[in-house]
């Protein structure tokens, strides 16, 4: 099953910073091993939202771009991954292994619907 995972670093114990050479080496090793196991499909870390991104909102048919202030730092995303695991439990263990490298924070992992589940009204109601 495919999973989409987002990582939210803990701003108190794992504040945003430019990655060190040691951290990059550890993360590259982790990703390489996950690719070799067939778990990692794609992913990456995010650049700062304020200087490299945007929040686009639509309310009552009207679009707006939010230039700040942004949500509290505790709600800012650190990165994402598209993953493949045989079970929910395996995905949870994968998130734990990732955070052992990435540091304190939260990994929120969603199972993706397969095409046939999108077409099945019963799956949507479950």
Would residue 94 count as lying in a domain? Answer: yes
Number of independent structural domains in the chain: 1
Residue 102 · residue 24 · CB < 8 Å: no
Would residue 89 count as lying in a domain? Answer: yes
Write down the pLDDT at residue 49: 79
- Euclidean distance between CA atoms 74 and 99, whole angstroms: 16
Would residue 106 count as lying in a domain? Answer: yes
Would residue 97 count as lying in a domain? Answer: yes
CA nearest to 52, candidates 76, 75, 74, 27 = 76
Would residue 24 count as lying in a domain? Answer: yes
- Euclidean distance between CA atoms 102 and 98, whole angstroms: 6
Would residue 102 count as lying in a domain? Answer: yes
Give Cα separations from 120 to 38, 86, 88, 126 (angstroms).
Answer: 28, 21, 21, 10
Tell me the pLDDT tens digit for each residue of 23-40: 999 999 999 999 999 999
Q: What is the CATH number of the domain that holds 100?
A: 3.30.70.1060
- Give residues with Cβ within 8 angstroms of 81, minimum separation 6: 4, 5, 7, 40, 41, 42, 43, 98
Which residue range is the domain that position 34 belongs to?
2-47+76-125
* Cβ atoms within 10 Å of 116's Cβ, excluding its own: 8
Residue 3 · residue 109 · CB < 8 Å: yes
Place of tokens 């995303």: 77
Would residue 70 count as lying in a domain? Answer: no
* Mean pLDDT within 95-120: 88
Tell me the pLDDT tens digit for each residue of 46-102: 887 778 888 888 999 999 988 766 655 556 788 999 999 999 999 999 999 999 999
Would residue 60 count as lying in a domain? Answer: no
């Amino acid at each position: 099953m495919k999973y989409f995972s987002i990582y939210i670093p803990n701003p108190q114990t794992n504040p945003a910073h430019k990655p060190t050479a040691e951290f990059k080496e550890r993360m590259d090793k982790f990703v390489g091993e996950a690719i070799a196991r067939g778990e990692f499909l794609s992913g990456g870390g995010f650049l700062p939202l304020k200087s490299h991104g945007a929040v686009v909102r639509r309310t009552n048919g009207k679009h707006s771009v939010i230039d700040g202030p942004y949500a509290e730092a505790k709600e800012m995303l650190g990165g994402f991954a598209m993953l493949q695991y045989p079970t929910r439990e395996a995905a949870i263990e994968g998130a734990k292994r990732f955070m052992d490298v990435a540091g304190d924070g939260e990994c929120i992992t969603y199972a993706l619907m397969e095409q046939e589940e999108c077409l099945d009204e019963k799956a949507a109601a479950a």
